Amino acid sequence: MSFLKRLFSKQEKETLDHGLEKSKSHVFSKLAKVFTGRRVVDEELMDELEEAFITADVGVETTMRLLSRLRKRARFEAYMEMDELYGMMREEMAALFHEDNRSTEAYAIPKHAEGPHVILVVGVNGVGKTTSIGKLAQRFKEQGHSVLLGAADTFRAAAIDQLKVWAERVGVPLVAQGMGADPASVAFDTLQSAVARKSDVVIIDTAGRLHNKRGLMEELAKVRRVMDKVVPGSPHEVWLVLDGSTGQNAVEQAKQFLATTDVTGLIVTKLDGTAKGGVVLAISLQFSIPVRYIGVGEKAEHLQDFILDEFLDSLLPERLIEGLDSTDSES
Amino acid sequence: MFDNLQEKFDRAFQILKGHGSITEVNVGDTLKEVRKALLDADVDYKTAKEFTQRVKEEALGREVLTSLKPGQLLVKITHEELTKLMGEAAADFRVQGKPAVILLAGLQGAGKTTHAGKLAKLIEDQFKKKVLLVACDVHRPAAVDQLKVVGESVGVDVYAEPGVLDAPGIAERGLAHAKSSGHQAVIIDTAGRLAIDEDMMREIDLVKAVAKPTETLFVVDSMTGQDAVRTAATFNERLDFDGVILTKLDGDTRGGAALSIHSVVGKPIKFVGVGEKMDALEVFHPNRMAERILGMGDVVSLVERAQQVIDEKEAARLESKIRKNKFDLEDFLQQIQQLKKMGNLKDLMSMIPGMSKALKGIDIDDNTFKQVECIIQSMTPEERANPGIINPARKQRIARGSGKDIQDINRLLKQFEDMRKMMHTMTNGAGGKRSRAAGLSALRR
């Protein structure tokens, strides 16, 4: 499977062992059982598909929609090669995603005449914002960009320290004030410093906020306004970090953050567990936002480009038998 | 909390309106919607299926025995089944042993460190025991610092060994430290880990073996999707935990995990985290939760919360003041401040039966209070004691001082006067608790 191959191309043995163990749970997912051999397309099959989608957190509405599309296309009450049905299913799922995700180009940092490329990272508590920023910093640095981090999470205890550890580990500068400082002021300082240093990329961490806390959401709007004053047009990107194990609430999170901050991309973390992140389908159906990265582990290289085919593979493994063969031969 | 689920249940039960009896057909339609609502709330797929099946059987079986309308009957059965699903009675939480040892475990970002602090506060406040927090999260950068800050904010000691990577060792020495320094309870914070991460699971096995906890609690984010039960089950196989802390229930989460974990794993939910403040931790009562989900309110919890923050003597003093019609703006200010301590206003109001429907779509801003506080604080003590003396000149000064318009001052004074009248009439019949509710509704306008 491509997901496995990917891990193999990464050098580390340790990564590899972990990865294998984890991806097996993907291979043996419910859908694997559904798509084998040749069988009648009937209500029972539809029920199995429904269960598979829902247990992958795809959500009721999106599942119903996918299944009704499938009903229209498939030959109901007739025998069908499951491969063919699976192909249809995948097309329908892929169609839900933003066009950026359907192309194979990875995200590249653009140049701006006015200053650095500014990325604001937002999300609810505990989704992995700070960790993702550390990983992003390493990635962009390796691509040859000069990176500056801004610690505007001045609320959570020790969030600044956590980002500091990452900055040191990766070897990039960090702008911070004390705990309880005004996040907008930190953002302001960071951007000024970035302009002075001529940094290529600025990534700003923010405090986790539950999306239904209005005051905090307004604070975010203020951070944005301040940024625009220092570097016109910034932030160029607002990335919303979602925990891959979150269920249907992620849709609500996306909705609320979109309403206040014009989210331009998603980072889905913690996909190395048994969670499948199927809610991304529901989000893609409702909002037009591309998924930029996925997090599949604790190390910096475990933040990977989102590649739609691979993601769909992990939801619906392509031909169980082939998938198993490659697992065996590779391990 | 649970708003979404509640709304959908309501809509589902509407289907039965106008039907004289429960039939296979109409109950089927209703339960299809109920099932959808449950799945949308991230209730485990199998649990949802079995739940609706049980409700259906109950409903069809009981039909002839009761005079309730079909809608009411179904709500009643759903309430019973929901309660059963979540584990009937509230589970015991004991702080026993010398010292009592509580081990927290869970995935990354579930809220372990924050809840270590909340639990410490709860044990100190309600069990009157001296707590030591032990920092065994040696993996996440700055996790130890976070626990120290949390400990400081609740005034609880923290045992940490910065830079040391041996979690079981820290647990062992932390425990020894607790014994020698007279701490009666120890809470061990551990690193977040995936249930399938063998190395990390081995680490927590070791911590558990060394610490011999009297309570092992699994901490889980209430926004977790279908994976919640799987993760809980895996953790349970390894750790055989005693109960669950469900966190972040103050979001608009639909709390599916609350409904599934008990029935799938067989372990009770003991606490729910309902806010960012350190006292936002509640004991979980399945029955009351079922009532909240069905929009029946939860008066018992409301009264309990009030009792936690309201000082009895103070309440008696206020009551006598109200009786004598001497209730003044200063008292009003104090009441507001007490009310604020009870937590998020919308949450509080939704515990009043029937309120949650009325509140739907209304955004209650906790800042409403701030405005009132601000105005009262711009008054002199004489003005507060005797609002009658506030003349136009004084009003202007107060408006300037609080940054509000004269109209705002007028409105507040009028509300206060109305409230005082109402309180006076009420207290001649009823007790002090009612007057508090009256104050609330006057504030809502």
The domain spans of chain B are 3-86, 100-294, 302-444
The tens digit of pLDDT for each residue in B27-55 reads: 888 888 889 888 988 889 999 999 999 98
Top pLDDT among A276 and B286 is at: B286
Tell me whether residues B225 and A275 touch, CB distance under 8 A.
yes
Using the Cβ of B179 and the Cβ atoms of chain A, whether some distance falls under 8 Å is answered with no
SS3 B18: coil
Residues of B in contact with A274 (CB under 8 A): 194-196, 227, 230-231, 234
pLDDT at B254 over 90: no
Distance from CA of B393 to the nearest CA of A (A): 34
User: Which residue of B lies nearest to A169 if distances are taken between CA atoms?
Assistant: B141
**Helix locations, B310-391, DSSP H:** 312-323, 329-341, 345-349, 355-359, 367-377, 381-385
Using the Cβ of A18 and the Cβ atoms of chain B, whether some distance falls under 8 Å is answered with yes
Cα–Cα distance measured from residue B105 to residue B113, given in angstroms and rounded to the nearest whole number: 10
Tell me whether residues B42 and A22 touch, CB distance under 8 A.
no
Which tokens hold the place of A45?
């099959």
Q: Which of A125, A211, A279 sits opposite B225 (nearest CB)?
A: A279
Torsion of CA B202, B42, A296, A320, to 10 degrees: 100
Task: State residue B26's pLDDT score.
Answer: 81
Top pLDDT among A19 and B117 is at: B117
Nearest to residue B419, comparing CAs of B332, B321, B318?
Answer: B332
Cα–Cα distance measured from residue A281 to residue A93, given in angstroms and rounded to the nearest whole number: 7
Assess contact for A205 and A159: CB atoms under 8 A: yes
The tens digit of pLDDT for each residue in A147-167 reads: 999 999 998 878 899 999 999
Fold of the B302-444 domain: 434 Repressor (Amino-terminal Domain) (1.10.260)
Fold of the B100-294 domain: Rossmann fold (3.40.50)
Task: State residue A11's pLDDT score.
Answer: 40
Average pLDDT, chain B: 82
The CA-to-CA distance between both ends of chain A, in Å, stands at: 12
Q: What sign for the dihedral angle of Cα B262, B264, B267, B269?
A: negative
Assess contact for A45 and A34: CB atoms under 8 A: yes
Tell me how crowded residue B404 is: count the other CB atoms within 10 A of its CB.
18
Residue of A65, A138, A246, A249 to mutate, interface with B, max B Cβ within 10 Å: A249
Using the Cβ of A259 and the Cβ atoms of chain B, whether some distance falls under 8 Å is answered with no
> What single string gives the DSSP state of each residue in B91-118?
PP----STTEEEEEEESTTSSHHHHHHH
A118 falls in which pLDDT band (50, 70, 90)? very high
Q: Which of A25, A161, A279 sits opposite B142 (nearest CB)?
A: A161
Residues of A in contact with B135 (CB under 8 A): none
Task: State residue B14's pLDDT score.
Answer: 79
Q: Residue B328, exposed/middle/buried by CB under 10 A (0-12, 13-18, 19+)?
A: middle
A7 falls in which pLDDT band (50, 70, 90)? very low
Nearest to residue A118, comparing CAs of A89, A93, A147, A84?
Answer: A147
B310 falls in which pLDDT band (50, 70, 90)? low
CATH class of B3-86: mainly alpha
Task: State residue A243's pLDDT score.
Answer: 92
User: Which residue of B lies nearest to A59 if distances are taken between CA atoms?
Assistant: B40
Residue of A133, A163, A219, A246 to mutate, interface with B, max B Cβ within 10 Å: A246
% of chain B exceeding 90 in pLDDT: 32
The CA-to-CA distance between both ends of chain B, in Å, stands at: 23
For A185, B293, B351, the CA distances from B269, given in Å and listed in that order, are 41, 16, 20
Which tokens hold the place of B66?
């009761």
Assess contact for B54 and B34: CB atoms under 8 A: no
Distance from CA of B180 to the nearest CA of A (A): 29
Give the pLDDT mean for B220-245. Answer: 91
Farthest-apart Cα atoms in chain B, separation: 73
The tens digit of pLDDT for each residue in B325-341 reads: 778 888 888 877 777 77
Distance from CA of A233 to the nearest CA of B (A): 32
For B11, B37, B240, B282, the CA distances from B5, given in Å and listed in that order, are 10, 6, 31, 21
Cα–Cα distance measured from residue B15 to residue B13, given in angstroms and rounded to the nearest whole number: 5
B19 falls in which pLDDT band (50, 70, 90)? confident
Residues of B in contact with A210 (CB under 8 A): 248, 250-251
Task: State residue B430's pLDDT score.
Answer: 46
Distance from CA of A168 to the nearest CA of B (A): 11
Distance from CA of B118 to the nearest CA of A (A): 14
Top pLDDT among B357 and A295 is at: A295
Give the pLDDT mean for B288-314. Answer: 69
Q: Which of A21, A249, A274 sits opposite B254 (nearest CB)?
A: A249
Using the Cβ of B42 and the Cβ atoms of chain A, whether some distance falls under 8 Å is answered with yes
The tens digit of pLDDT for each residue in A246-263 reads: 988 899 889 989 988 889
Using the Cβ of B372 and the Cβ atoms of chain A, whether some distance falls under 8 Å is answered with no
Distance from CA of B261 to the nearest CA of A (A): 14
> What single string gives the DSSP state of each residue in B56-96?
HHHHHHHGGG--S-HHHHHHHHHHHHHHHHHTSSPPP----
Tell me which of A63-67, B237-241, B265-269, B276-280 is least confident.
Answer: B276-280
Residue owning tokens 């301040």: A226
Task: State residue B172's pLDDT score.
Answer: 95
B75-90: buried (b, 16+ CB within 10 Å) or exposed (e) per residue? Answer: bbbbbbbbbbbbbeeb
Tell me how crowded residue B276 is: count the other CB atoms within 10 A of its CB.
19
- Residues 185-224, chain A: which have Cβ within 8 Å of B? 210-212, 214-215
For B14, B72, B119, B310, the CA distances from B56, given in Å and listed in that order, are 16, 14, 40, 44
Assess contact for B190 and B137: CB atoms under 8 A: yes
- Please report, for chain A, how many H helices and E strands are present, in that order: 15, 10
The tens digit of pLDDT for each residue in B139-187 reads: 888 889 999 999 999 999 999 999 899 999 999 999 999 999 999 999 9
Which tokens hold the place of B26?
């109409």
For B272, B375, B387, the CA distances from B378, given in Å and listed in that order, are 38, 5, 13
Distance from CA of A191 to the nearest CA of B (A): 25
Tell me whether residues B227 and A276 touch, CB distance under 8 A.
yes
Size of interface A-B (CB pairs under 8 A): 141
Q: Which residues make Cβ contacts (< 8 Å) with residue B243, sequence separation at least 6?
A: B91, B93, B215, B217, B218, B267, B268, B269, B270, B271
pLDDT at B65 over 80: no
Task: State residue B183's pLDDT score.
Answer: 95
Residues of A in contact with B39 (CB under 8 A): 54, 59-60
Task: State residue A29's pLDDT score.
Answer: 54
Distance from CA of A150 to the nearest CA of B (A): 17
Residues of A in contact with B146 (CB under 8 A): 156-159, 161-162
Distance from CA of A304 to the nearest CA of B (A): 19
Q: Which of A125, A248, A274 sits opposite B230 (nearest CB)?
A: A274
pLDDT at B223 over 50: yes
**pTM across the whole model:** 0.75
Q: What's the distance, CA A40 to chain centroid?
A: 36
Task: State residue B354's pLDDT score.
Answer: 59
Nearest 5 degrees, angle CA B322-CA B324-CA B330? 50
Q: Residue A238, exposed/middle/buried by CB under 10 A (0-12, 13-18, 19+)?
A: buried
Kindly report the backbone phi and psi dihedral angles of residue B374, in degrees, each rounded to the nearest multiple of 5, phi listed first: -60, -45
| Partner residues linked to B188 by β-bridges | B103, B134
% of chain A exceeding 70 in pLDDT: 83
Assess contact for A191 and A175: CB atoms under 8 A: no
Cα–Cα distance measured from residue B126 to residue B92, given in angstroms and rounded to the nearest whole number: 14
Using the Cβ of A60 and the Cβ atoms of chain B, whether some distance falls under 8 Å is answered with yes
Q: Which residues make Cβ contacts (< 8 Å) with residue B354, sequence separation at least 6?
A: B295, B297
Residue of A50, A62, A125 to mutate, interface with B, max B Cβ within 10 Å: A125
Cα–Cα distance measured from residue B376 to residue B379, given in angstroms and rounded to the nearest whole number: 5
- Please give the ipTM for the structure prediction: 0.77
Which tokens hold the place of B95?
């702080």
